[in-house]
Amino acid sequence: MSACFELVRFAPKAGAEEALAAARPAMEAAFRAAYPGLVDLRLGRLEDGTYADLFVWRTRADADHAQATEHDMPEFQAFVANVERLLAHDFGTLVA
C-alpha cells in the first residue's frame, strides 16, 4: 500500500493565530498517541494568511479512521475552535 497524504486548508478566526498556535502541540500529541498510522503532520501558514495542515498516513484507511474519530478528541476541538472556515480538504498518494 502507498502512503496517503491529507491536505487541509483553512482560514483562522480573526485574532486567533496565537490561540491556534497554543492549541497545536496538545493536538499533535493527541493525534500521535491515538493514531499509530500517522507518519507525520505539519502546519504551515500561507502568504495570504490562511493555513495548510499536512498529514502523512501509512494508508488511506488510517486517514479515514482519524477523520471519523477526531471530533471526539478535546485537543482537536480546542484547535478547530480557532478556525473560521475550511477552504479545502484533499487526499492524495505519495509518489516520491
| Rounded average pLDDT per 10-residue block, the chain, 96 residues | 93 97 98 98 97 98 97 97 98 94
80 is a domain residue: yes
Asked if residue 55 lies in contact with residue 70, where contact means CB atoms within 8 angstroms, the answer is: no
For position 40, which CATH number holds?
Answer: 3.30.70.100
Q: How many domains does the chain have?
A: 1
φ, ψ (nearest 5 deg) of residue 91: -125, 150
Neighbouring residues of 33: CB distance < 8 A, sequence distance ≥ 6? none
Beta-bridge partner residues of 5: 56, 92
Residue 67, SS3?
helix
Model pLDDT for residues 47-63, shown as the tens digit of each residue: 999 999 999 999 999 99
Let me know if residue 11 belongs to a domain.
yes
pLDDT in tens, 38-50: 999 999 999 999 9
Residue 52 belongs to some domain of the structure: yes
